[in-house]
Structure 1
Amino acid sequence: MTDSCPVCVHRGIAPAAERRHGENVVHGYRCPACGHTWATARHLPAYTPTRRSAA
């Protein structure tokens, strides 16, 4: 998954690091444009094709 920088809104940034904890994944990002770093946590079952089509 890619993300957008919350500071400069640069788009399509790939994770620089990843940790998995059961059904959860934490991605660490670093913006190549401004250098800002941040992390996101996602519950993987929420991103399944079945879940998206039901919404």
Structure 2
Amino acid sequence: MTDTCPACCRRRIPPCAERRRGNQIAHGYRCPGCGHQWATARQLPAYSDIHRRRAGRQTREAA
């Protein structure tokens, strides 16, 4: 899921870090334009089926 930089409004920035806990997913972002860093936390049930399927996949650490 991409996001928009809250500092310079650059769009479609992909996450550089991801962490899952239960039905919540947190993404860390860093804007390639201005260097601003931020994080978002989302509840997966509030989003589409696609995100719920992703949450069920094994991570590298679990594999």
Is TM-score (shorter-chain normalized) higher than 0.5?
Answer: yes
The runs of at least 4 aligned residues of structure 1 exceeding 6 Å deviation read none
Root mean square deviation of aligned Cα: 0.8
> Which protein has the bigger strand share?
1
Structure 1-normalised TM-score? 0.86
Structure 1 unaligned regions, length at least 5: 50-55
Would you say how many aligned residue pairs link Structure 1 and Structure 2?
49
Structure 2 unaligned regions, length at least 5: 50-63
Structure 2-normalised TM-score? 0.75
Q: Percent identity of the aligned residues? A: 65
Does residue 26 (structure 1) correspond to residue 23 (structure 2)? The answer is no
